[in-house]
Amino acid sequence: MARKKESEKSTRASAAEQKVMGLRPETREQPITETLETNFMPYAMSVIVSRAIPEIDGFKPSHRKLLYTMYKMGLLSGGRTKSANIVGQTMRLNPHGDAAIYDTMVRLSQGYEALLTPFVDSKGNFGKVYSRDMAYAAPRYTEAKLSPICAELFRDIDKDAVDMPDNYDGTMKEPALLPTSFPNVLVSSNLGIAVGMASNICGFNLTEVCETAIALLRDPEHDILSTLPGPDFSTGGNILVEPDTLREIYRTGRGSIKIRARYRYVPKENIIEIYEIPYTTAVEIIIDKVAELVKAGKLKEINDMRDETDRNGLKLALDLKRGTDPDKLMQKLFRMTPLQDSFGCNFNILIDGYPRVCGVGEIFTEWNRWREECIRRRVRFDLGKKQEKLHLLYGLREILLDIDRAISIIRETEMEDEVVPNLMAGFGIDEIQADYVAEIRLRNINREYILNRLKECESLEKDIADLEDILQKPKRVQKIIISELEAVIKKYPSPRKSLLLYDFAEDDGGSEDESDAYAVSLFLSREGYFKKITPQSLRMSSEQRYKENDGPMQRFETDSNAEMLIFTDRQQVYKCRASDFADTKASVLGTYLPTALKMDEGESVVSLVLPGDYSGSVLFFFQNGKCARVPLSAYATKTNRKRLTAAYSDASPLMRVLSLGEERDIAAFSNDGRALVFNSALLTDKPTRNTQGVQLLSITGKRSLSGAEFLADTAIRSDRDYRARTLPKAGAILKDIDRGEEQLNLLESEQKDS
């Protein structure tokens, strides 16, 4: 052993010397299994057992430490105190930061509304569980105390009902569990994410849980669904669930339930008021999603959405367009927004220190077993106290039968230390009894006192016999639990907040949206006539009809929900969707856009652009030889605006508009027969819509830019002679072989001659 210790000292000294000298100490290879066992597994078990997973009392350690601290501070019956004071005191049990402790208090508070049965009576701004952005006030501003129902959590805590281990530094005791007199593990919703496992327990109604616990104690074969019809959430809402699905969740502890918002329609104002939302979402998430759908054109029935939440509670107001069916719109919103959401149940709790996924029936069984043990421990504590007192009274009774002799012994004893031994020897009692007798005051040695003590002995004997009988008869323990549960039901009435809908097949999801996307072809003529034609219609008849002197300008293959940007010659852009126009045929003229979009008098269409997700750019080619590259995001708006002004520069007439998704080669043409080929990468995005752009063509004399196209769409066969590496350039005269229109004219004349 001595040699081994010397070897270890030598090794430590060698490592220290190497560290001082700047040398790296020798390392040894460690198997991954050993690393997991010595490093990872203790951490994982600590998170599972001591942090994330609730125990049979329904609390995590952080909840339990906070509530016990408040109990010891006298906040069960006293007035409120500053939350900062509570947080500071809790740090004696919970060695975490004050922010984490305060977060725990907020979640347990009445003001936050996360729990059906809150345990903290709060005053001040504690935020709301249904709001993502409504922040709670700092702990120096808020006040709190324990809610009255916490008396059911600490009823037997001073009677050895639960274990009281040392806190983290051994300076005080704390409860391992709270002896809750009702199954709080099912009443309080809980979410915990540990290492390799998680827990997600939905809340149930307090009254229904207590009634179910009573029924199971009386009849273990009781049908749980008859008294516990389903979960209950603090934010209310409608729960959509089939009875068979609930039975499976109750049996396995796993499953999913749907929660739907509740609403009312106000005909006078033509608005929908949403006043309860799913527990799993927040008002800001709902508003953001609705705004996104309105912007995408998938919700045309809504004019505006407002958050009108106030001191009276949550309220989201939807302004409807005239003629909108509110019920049909809500069915659509349930499908497309978090106004209908799912809650995934995972009833994973700690049973005797081990995590276990339990069904509802199993949780009741485990809670009953644990609660029976709490009752027995409380009875044993009361029994011990009464037995101790009866033992003292038995000794007193022996003395009181011959009080004169006792007085004589005490009077004749010379030393004070010999009084107790002399009484023990004179009456045959033990030291505890003799010491108790010796402390009796002289004024109490009277007939009344003697008779009362003798009667008290009889009462204690009956009480002790009753307590011993309770310990011997499990049925009596169960009766005590039932009586306490009945008292909870009577003292803390809990009306249900969530409405259960078992038969919801007819309105679950509703019919498909009429504006669901389908493939279409879009056509725009030079005069501004627009057509939306389905592929089936095009296959039947593809010959397009146009007015005299009109013809095709643009064609797109897209879907019926595509968003469109209509640029006009007045530097304006109109935003609409293909779904705003009815399907038509190639044989009709189509919809005249200036009229349909209510354009200004004399205003005409220049180009149609499909922005998609607004990730590309728009190229504007002006007569003065300049080109402006504007990101499509400059035309994206958060509100549902139909028209944007100053869509492009008015410094020079607009000659061509091209929509650019990725970098491509472009050919620009001048009125004197020149062409300039360049890559769009030479142009950079400008942040403002009405930018004048950069000089593309060198303009001299009467030369001007006459048009532009993507190189692939032109007749240019070889772009080498027209290619520009830098801008601006004058361009090169088009060769005959690259003049698409001259070749076409030549072909047509040859056909006539033949």
Q: Strand 271-276's sheet: what is its strand order?
A: 262-266, 271-276, 316-320, 302-307
- Closest of 693, 663, 683, 639 to residue 291, by C-alpha: 639
Give the Cα separation of 729 and 296 in Å (integer).
Answer: 41
AA identity, residue 472: Q
pTM for this prediction: 0.65
At residue 542, the pLDDT reads 78
Domain ranges of the chain: 2-44, 59-178, 262-338, 376-491
Taking the C-alpha atoms of residue 210 and residue 190, their distance in angstroms, rounded to an integer, is: 18
SS (H, E, C) 370-399: HHHHHHHHHHHHHHHHHHHHHHHHHHHHHH
Helix 447-472 × helix 360-400 angle, to 10° = 150
CATH fold of 376-491: Topoisomerase; domain 3 (1.10.268)
One DSSP character per residue, 608-621 reads EE--TTT-SEEEEE
Nearest to 365 by CA among 56, 117, 156, 54: 56
pLDDT score, position 94: 86
Please give the CATH number for the structural domain made up of 262-338: 3.30.1360.40
d(CA 452, CA 50): 51
CA distances from 420 to 396, 416, 430, 622 (A): 13, 8, 9, 117
What's the helix, strand, coil split of the chain in %, to 5?
40, 20, 40
Q: Do domains 262-338 and 376-491 have the same CATH topology?
A: no
Classify 751 as helix, strand or coil.
Answer: helix
For residue 138, give the DSSP letter: P
Residue 43 CB-density burial (10 A; 0-12 exposed, 13-18 middle, 19+ buried): exposed
The span from the CA of 728 to the CA of 527, in Å, is 33
Scan for tokens 């129902």, then name that residue.
149
For residues 51 and 100, the answer to whether their CB atoms sit within 8 Å is no
C-beta atoms surrounding 503 within 10 Å: 10
Range picked from 141-150, 316-325, 386-395 for highest mean pLDDT? 141-150
pLDDT at 124: 94
Dihedral sign of CA atoms 143, 148, 154, 158 in order: positive
Cβ count near 128 (within 10 Å): 20
Tokens encoding 283 = 């008002």
Q: Would you say 555 and 506 are in contact if contact means Cβ atoms under 8 Å apart?
A: no
Q: Is the peptide bond before 728 cis (omega within 30 degrees of 0)?
A: yes
Under DSSP, is residue 151 helix (H, G, I), strand (E, B) or coil?
A: helix
The pLDDT score that the predictor gives to residue 748 is 43
Report the pLDDT value the prediction gives residue 737, as an integer from 0 to 100.
84
To the query of whether residue 141 is one of the catalytic residues in this protein, the response is yes
Q: How far apart are the C-alpha atoms of 286 and 277, rounded to whole Å?
A: 9
Residue 4 pLDDT grade (very low, low, confident, very high; cuts 50, 70, 90) = very low
Report the alpha-carbon distance of residue 589 to residue 421 in Å, rounded.
123
Could you tell me the two tokens for 398?
Answer: 């022996």
User: What 3-state class would DSSP assign to 570?
Assistant: coil
Strands 238-240 and 499-501: parallel
Q: Which CATH superfamily is domain 59-178 in?
A: Topoisomerase II, domain 5 (3.90.199.10)
The whole-number average pLDDT for the span 713-720 is 86
**What SS3 string covers 629-655?**
EEEHHHHCCCCCCCEECCCCCCCCCEE
Kind and range of the H or E element at 531? Answer: strand 529-533
Judge whether residue 508 has pLDDT over 80: no
pLDDT of residue 394 exceeding 60, the answer is yes
* Whole-angstrom distance, CA of residue 144 vs CA of residue 86: 8
Token reading at 241: 């669930």
Confidence of residue 450 (pLDDT cuts 50, 70, 90): confident
Residue 367 has pLDDT above 90, yes or no: yes
Whose tokens are 């120096």? That residue is 140
Among 6-20, 41-55, 138-152, 361-375, the least confident range = 6-20
Residues with Cβ within 8 Å of 146's Cβ and at least 6 positions away in sequence, in order, are 67, 70, 71, 75, 76, 119, 120, 121
CA atoms of 242 and 244, how far apart (whole Å)? 5
Summarised one tens digit per residue, pLDDT across range 415-426 is: 888 888 888 888
How many residues are present in the chain?
754
> In percent, how much of the chain has pLDDT > 90?
55
CA dist list (Å): 223 to 213, 250, 486: 11, 11, 19
Q: What is the spatial distance between Cα 189 and Cα 232, in angstroms, rounded to a whole number?
A: 9
* pLDDT tops 70 at residue 662: yes
By C-alpha distance, which of 364, 310, 365, 366 is closest to 131? 310
Q: Which residue among the candidates 102, 130, 141, 279 is catalytic per the annotation?
A: 141
pLDDT for the residue numbered 503 = 59
Q: What is the pLDDT of residue 20?
A: 47
Q: What is the pLDDT of residue 445?
A: 72
